[in-house]
């Protein structure tokens, strides 16, 4: 009887492998960072071969750490950095260029041209996305247009495109499978949420041959098996989901109206909207949450560009803390922000503003303001930005919010989590296992092979670490949020006449 699930968590800066047991506990974790490549300003690349080497390396390492064989693994689940784009030669299996990472902005001009031509309503209706360099479609077009010989090879059907999940599965199966799942397909600007297929009209607009594209599958099914000799046994590959969707599944936010927020460098919020895609009127993204059996769940997604990064700036930019962990004690040394508000719009503002011209702003300073007040305002800014996105989600979905489930590094900060509950007016709940991205991939794989029976069993496995209840009055909450909105308006109106 196989006893474990192996999750491959391929992230933006590292590849990780985690072994889980039936209770969702972590038995082994191995991690390896890989090179970040910056060919010029605004460009970000990865070496796809290095990603593969790191990923297969940590998979073997995780098994070795607890002395188990590949034959003890019931299934593999894969979760990945989304939107990062790889094109490889079907015959040689070699990438034709470095992977273009989701953070890369080289196709911003192409995105602007598509918007100027009036195509944004079409893309938004069909894909649920805004036109932006963030997504895979424009990156794929760039590769075909700029790598010598690529377009001719693509026209002959000799090339394959994939996000990182597709690349890993190609390598794990020695080229037998060229697939993706719905959560990754729907982040390409090429996948139609309504027909559940690649969209020929959008492919034509971006000049992308359909022959490049992987087959789209559910997020939980047995797709195939690892190649013989790779890990020591042929293991079923049975789960795929992009990182934020996987984290939502790992949080057991399986019912309509449940929301999770991942606090990392930025914040990613997903609201489960059930079996119907809800178009956003407030600049959120409509996305597939997962497809299990024959049921597709959808989500609204909102991103905060600067969350944990504001704490890094306090450390590296201002120097008021030496380690990021010190920020909670410094902020706790004062009872409140004393009227100081910090809008960390270092790279503009994300949802629901999407204002690339906003700039970082601190307002309300007085002679009595201290480093502690600035630290507190910085932490509070993360909660305020989260509340702005959740307001938009509430308005788009007309769903009530019973609680906010949280994960990611900053979710360990009790001061921030309590303030988040206060400013939202709903409980904030932190789970015992915060490796929710890998756990979600494990759950999806385990469901496909009967390791876990159904979603009801997964709901029972979720365990709470701590619950933060709101403890300020509605009047106080509204007063604080009004002051925050005023600060945001200042950040969105940089002083006239000052040029960078």
DSSP character string of 136-155: HHHHHHHHHHHSTTHHHHHH
The residues with which 404 forms a beta bridge, in sequence order, are: 259, 428
What torsion do the CA atoms of 213, 35, 347, 389 make, to the nearest 10 degrees? 60
Tell whether residue 413 is among the known ligand binding residues. yes
Q: Name the nearest CA neighbour of 217 among 247, 185, 193, 192.
A: 185
Tell whether residue 244 is among the known ligand binding residues. yes
C-alpha distance from residue 69 to each of 29, 65, 328, 442, 446 (Å): 15, 11, 43, 18, 18
Q: Name the nearest CA neighbour of 220 among 440, 483, 480, 496.
A: 440
b vs e for 363-387, b when ≥16 Cβ sit within 10 Å of the residue's Cβ?
Answer: bbeeeebebbbbbbbbbbbbbbbbb
Quote the pLDDT of residue 106. 87
Tell whether residue 312 is among the known ligand binding residues. yes
Largest CA distance in the chain: 71
Quote the pLDDT of residue 11. 87
Q: What is the DSSP letter of 497?
A: T
Quote the pLDDT of residue 493. 74
Tell whether residue 65 is among the known ligand binding residues. no
pLDDT cut 90: percent of the chain above it:
71
Tell whether residue 350 is among the known ligand binding residues. no
Phi-psi region of 348 (alpha: psi -120 to 50; beta: other; left: phi over 0): left
Q: Which sign does the torsion angle of CA 264, 265, 271, 274 carry?
A: negative
The token pair that represents 144 in the structure block: 């075909």
Tell whether residue 14 is among the known ligand binding residues. yes
pLDDT cut 70: percent of the chain above it:
98
Q: How many CB atoms lie within 10 A of CB 108?
A: 15
Quote the CA–CA distance of 390 and 220 in Å, as a whole number.
28
Quote the pLDDT of residue 499. 42
Tell whether residue 486 is among the known ligand binding residues. no
Tell whether residue 218 is among the known ligand binding residues. no
Quote the pLDDT of residue 352. 87
Q: Are 146 and 211 in contact (CB under 8 A)?
A: no
Quote the CA–CA distance of 309 and 382 in Å, as a whole number.
10
298 alpha carbon, distance to own chain's centre? 15
The token pair that represents 87 in the structure block: 């094109």
Quote the pLDDT of residue 500. 40
pTM, 2 dp: 0.86
Quote the CA–CA distance of 161 and 194 in Å, as a whole number.
22
45 SS3 class = strand
Q: Are 359 and 345 in contact (CB under 8 A)?
A: yes
Quote the pLDDT of residue 240. 97
Quote the CA–CA distance of 352 and 349 in Å, as a whole number.
8
Tell whether residue 248 is among the known ligand binding residues. no
The token pair that represents 174 in the structure block: 């020695």
Tell whether residue 134 is among the known ligand binding residues. yes
Q: Are 427 and 261 in contact (CB under 8 A)?
A: no
Quote the pLDDT of residue 444. 97
336 SS3 class = coil
Tell whether residue 265 is among the known ligand binding residues. yes
Tell whether residue 435 is among the known ligand binding residues. no
Q: What is the DSSP letter of 98?
A: P
| pLDDT tens, per residue, the chain with 500 residues | 568 999 999 988 889 999 999 999 999 999 998 888 889 877 889 999 999 999 999 999 999 999 898 999 999 999 998 999 999 999 999 999 999 988 788 888 898 899 999 999 999 999 999 888 889 999 999 999 999 999 999 999 999 999 999 999 999 999 999 999 999 999 999 999 999 999 999 999 999 999 999 999 999 999 999 998 888 899 999 999 999 999 999 999 998 889 999 988 788 999 999 998 999 888 899 999 999 998 999 999 998 878 888 888 898 888 988 988 888 999 999 999 999 999 998 877 888 887 777 888 999 999 999 999 999 999 999 999 999 999 999 889 888 888 999 998 889 889 999 999 999 999 999 998 878 999 999 999 999 999 999 999 999 999 999 999 999 999 999 999 999 999 999 998 754 434 44
Q: Are 434 and 478 in contact (CB under 8 A)?
A: no
Quote the pLDDT of residue 2. 65
């Amino acid at each position: 009887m196989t006893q474990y699930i192996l999750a491959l968590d391929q992230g933006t800066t590292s590849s990780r492998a985690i072994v889980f047991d039936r209770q969702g506990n972590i038995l082994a974790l191995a991690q390896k960072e890989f090179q970040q490549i910056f060919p010029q300003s605004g460009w970000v690349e990865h070496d796809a071969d290095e990603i593969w080497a790191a990923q297969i390396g940590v998979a073997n390492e995780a098994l070795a750490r607890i002395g188990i064989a590949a034959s003890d693994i019931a299934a593999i689940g894969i979760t990945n950095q989304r939107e990062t784009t790889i094109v490889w030669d079907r015959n040689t299996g070699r990438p034709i260029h470095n992977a273009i990472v989701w953070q890369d902005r080289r196709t911003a001009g192409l995105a602007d041209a598509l918007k100027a031509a009036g195509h944004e309503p079409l893309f938004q209706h069909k894909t649920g996305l805004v036109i932006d360099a963030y997504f895979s479609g424009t990156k794929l077009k760039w590769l075909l247009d700029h790598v010598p010989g690529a377009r001719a090879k693509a026209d002959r059907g000799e090339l394959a495109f994939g996000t990182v999940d597709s690349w890993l599965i190609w390598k794990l199966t020695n080229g037998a499978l060229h697939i993706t799942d719905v959560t990754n397909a729907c982040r390409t600007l090429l996948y139609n949420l309504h027909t559940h297929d690649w969209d020929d009209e959008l492919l034509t607009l971006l000049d992308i041959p359909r022959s490049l594209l992987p087959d789209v599958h559910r997020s939980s099914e047995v797709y195939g098996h690892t190649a013989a000799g790779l890990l020591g046994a042929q293991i079923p590959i049975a789960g795929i989901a992009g990182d934020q969707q996987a984290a939502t599944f790992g949080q057991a936010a399986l019912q309509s109206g449940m929301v999770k927020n991942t606090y990392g460098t930025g914040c990613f919020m997903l609201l489960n909207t059930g079996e119907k895609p809800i178009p956003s009127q407030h600049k959120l993204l409509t996305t597939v949450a997962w497809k299990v059996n024959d049921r597709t769940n959808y989500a609204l997604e909102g991103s905060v560009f600067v969350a944990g990064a504001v704490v890094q700036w306090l450390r590296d930019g201002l120097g008021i803390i030496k380690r990021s962990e010190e920020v909670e004690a410094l902020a706790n040394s004062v009872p409140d922000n004393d009227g100081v508000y910090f809008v960390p719009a270092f790279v503009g503002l994300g949802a629901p503003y999407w204002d690339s011209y906003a700039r970082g702003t601190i307002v309300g300073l007085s002679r009595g303001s201290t480093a502690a007040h600035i630290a507190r305002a910085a932490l509070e800014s993360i909660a305020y930005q989260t509340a702005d996105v959740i307001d938009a989600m509430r308005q788009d979905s007309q769903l009530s919010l019973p609680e906010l489930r949280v994960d990611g590094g900053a979710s360990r900060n009790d001061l921030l989590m309590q303030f988040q509950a206060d400013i939202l007016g709903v409980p904030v709940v932190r789970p015992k296992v915060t490796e929710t991205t890998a756990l979600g991939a494990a759950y999806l794989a385990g469901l496909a092979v009967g390791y876990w029976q159904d979603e009801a069993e997964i709901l029972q496995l979720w365990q709470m670490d701590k619950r933060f209840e709101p403890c300020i009055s509605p009047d106080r909450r509204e007063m604080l949020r009004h002051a925050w909105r005023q600060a945001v308006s200042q950040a969105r109106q940089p002083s006239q006449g000052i040029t960078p």
